[in-house]
Amino acid sequence: MSKVNKPPISLSRLIRYMSAKDDKIAVVVGTVTDDVRVHEIPCLKVTALRFTETARARIEKAGGECLTFDQLALRAPLGQNTILLRGPKNSREAVKHFGKAPGVPHSHTKPYVRSKGRKFEKARVFDYCVLDDETFSSLHTPCVESFVVDIHFSFGNEVGASGRLSPMTEPPQTISPMIQPPEPQPRARKANPDVVAKACDASQLKDICVLVLEHQDISEVNDLKQATFVAIMTASAGAVTTSNMIKTVRKKRHNQAADGIEEVTLVNCAMNYVSLVKMLSEASSALMNGPESDVMVGVKAAMTMVETCDKSIVDGRDNPIVDQVVKMNERVRRFCSNALD
């Protein structure tokens, strides 16, 4: 039997469970430990794999019995008049880190940190916002405004010969009243032209790289480390936007007869994007606090999640909701690729 499934149980908890059960034998597959906060011990009959020295002494001093499982087999071969108990299994430190990624809405997961000192950052990029339940247009909030790349690019604008984005002659067609592209109000920070040129020189998506660094409101860009941080933050904001859009659509269509392909796509991509946001968060934390080798590992893992979401979309590209997910997933893929370069 694994150690995780044999948690210790304290005398105080044992007394609480065995109150008004004087004729029963408590059976614990684990260790019984002492609790100095308890001053009065009732008469208990306890069978356990192990007793601490003080716990055994206090039980026997109160007139109780500490039995082994061999003695229990002779006294109650069929388990009659016994109560099987177990200590708190999920009180381990490791369990506190399980669940949703730290920082996402409604998450109470404890982040992994190297230290709680002043110089160490927790494993989250920034404070995520919660969508308004009524409409997707509520994405126009400060935390999503950090997704500062011109939103027209995401919905079909093309890069002209001059290298700049040419605005669309017609506004993009909305897929559904609940999915409206937000209207960003970027507040550009200063970016050193030499740093921008050096950072984007080897990038395969040079136009996107320049736009991300010159039209962002996250941080000033004076060195390559700051440029990398801005690129990861932009990809993370795009991932959060896409994840929130998927959650909103699924919530709106919870009681409706949804297309099977649409539902499968949304479920698969929703799970992928939860992991994607966490990986980009860890990459950003590694960039700031080290080790720097984990930065590329995190961004590459995020790219894998984006590709997995794209592979889950097989026959549903004619579906309007799935088509919207495809476009937003492609946008996140480009920003992750830009951060990787």
DSSP state of 165: E
pTM reported for the whole predicted model? 0.37
Please choose, from the candidates 202, 161, 155, the residue with its C-alpha nearest in 3D space to the C-alpha of residue 175. Answer: 155
310 in a structural domain: yes
φ and ψ at residue 28, rounded to 5 degrees? -125, 120
Q: Higher model confidence: residue 301 or residue 48? A: 48
Greater model confidence, 180 or 98: 98
pLDDT in tens, 89-130: 999 999 999 999 888 888 999 888 888 888 877 655 444 444
Sorted by sequence, the CB contacts under 8 Å of residue 271 that are 6+ apart come out as none
Q: What is the mean pLDDT of residues 265-287?
A: 76
Tokens for 1, please give them: 């039997």
Cα separations in angstroms, 120 against 123, 288, 290, 294: 10, 9, 10, 16
Calculate Rg over the CA atoms of the chain.
Answer: 28
**High-pLDDT (> 90) share of the chain, %:** 28
| Closest of 246, 270, 249 to residue 258, by C-alpha | 249
Residues 121 and 76 in one domain: no
Question: Per the structure, how many domains does the chain have?
Answer: 2
What does the pLDDT read at residue 1?
85
- Is 179 or 306 the better-scoring residue by pLDDT? 306
- CB-count burial class (<10 Å; 0-12, 13-18, 19+) for 200: buried
pLDDT score recorded for residue 44: 94
Q: Is residue 190 part of a domain?
A: yes
CB half-sphere exposure, 102, CA atoms < 13 A: 17
pLDDT at position 252: 65
Looking at the DSSP bridge assignments, the partners of residue 10 are 33
Q: Measure the CA–CA gap between 310 and 303, rounded to whole angstroms.
A: 11
CATH of the domain at 67: 3.100.10.10
Q: If pLDDT is split at 50, 70 and 90, which confidence band does 333 have?
A: confident
Binning the chain into helix, strand and coil, the percentages to the nearest 5 are 45, 10, 45
| Same-domain pairing of 161 and 296 | yes
Give pLDDT, residue 135. 41
Band of the pLDDT at 309, cuts 50, 70, 90? confident
Domain boundary among 43, 63, 91: 91
Name the pairing type of β-strands 25-33 and 9-10: parallel
| Domain limits for position 18 | 9-91
pLDDT band for position 164 (cuts 50, 70, 90): very low
Which range of 6-15, 169-178, 286-295, 310-319 scores highest in mean pLDDT? It is 6-15
Whether the bond between 171 and the residue before it is cis, its omega within 30 degrees of 0, is: no
pLDDT in tens, 212-258: 666 665 556 666 677 777 777 777 777 788 777 777 776 666 555 45
Summary mean pLDDT of the chain:
73
* Residue 139, helix vs strand vs coil: helix
Is position 13 within any domain?
yes
Does the pLDDT at position 181 exceed 60? no
**Which residue, of 47, 68, 91, is where some domain finishes?**
91
Given this model, what pLDDT does residue 204 score? Answer: 67
CATH number of the domain residue 299 falls in: 1.20.140.40
Any domain includes 252: yes
Does the residue 4 lie in any domain?
A: no
Q: Which of 78-82, 223-227, 333-337 shows the lowest mean pLDDT across its residues? A: 223-227
The enclosing H or E element of 150 equals none
Answer yes or no: is pLDDT of 265 > 60.
Answer: yes
- Residue with the bigger pLDDT between 329 and 45: it is 45
**Structure-model confidence comparison of residues 266 and 100, the more confident one:** 100
Residue in this structure with the two tokens 């990787």, named with its chain if needed: 340
Distance CA 335, CA 15 (A): 58
The domain boundary residue, chosen from 28, 63, 91: 91
pLDDT above 80 for 299:
no
Residue 2 lies in a domain: no
Same domain, 41 and 171: no
Question: Tokens 């990398």, residue?
Answer: 228
- Over residues 120-144, the mean pLDDT reads 48
Tokens of 291: 């080790």
pLDDT, position 74: 95
